[in-house]
Amino acid sequence: MNLNVKKYIFNKISIYIAIVFALLISTYVVLSNLLQDSDRMPASYTLHTTEIESRSKKMMEEGRRLHIIEDYKSANKTLSELLEKYPYTAYTEEASFLLAKGLLYEEQYRQSEEVIQALQEYDPGSRSKWMGYSFLVMAKIHEEKGESDDAILLYRKVITEFSDEDLVDEAEDMLLQISL
Give the pLDDT confidence score for residue 180 in this predicted structure. 67
SS (H, E, C) 150-179: HHHHHHHHHHHHCCCHHHHHHHHHHHHHHH
Looking at 35-39, 58-62, 165-169, which range is the least confident one? 35-39
Of all residues in the chain, what percent carry a pLDDT higher than 90? 58
Give the pLDDT confidence score for residue 123 in this predicted structure. 85
Mean pLDDT to the nearest integer, 109-124: 92
Of all residues in the chain, what percent carry a pLDDT higher than 70? 89
Looking at 26-30, 61-65, 93-97, 168-172, which range is the least confident one? 26-30
SS (H, E, C) 7-37: HHHHHHHHHHHHHHHHHHHHHHHHHHHHHHH
pLDDT bracket for residue 112 (50, 70, 90): very high
pLDDT tens digits along 62-80: 999 999 999 999 999 999 9
Closest CA to 41 of 85, 100, 106: 85
Q: Which residues neighbour 78 within 8 Å (Cβ) at sequence distance 6 or greater?
A: 59, 62, 63, 66
Higher pLDDT, 21 or 107: 107
pLDDT tens digits along 30-54: 776 665 544 445 544 555 678 878 8
Give the pLDDT confidence score for residue 151 in this predicted structure. 95
CATH C-level class of 43-179:
mainly alpha
The domain spans of the chain are 1-40, 43-179
For residue 144, the 8-state DSSP code is H
Give the pLDDT confidence score for residue 167 in this predicted structure. 94
pLDDT higher than 60, residue 126: yes
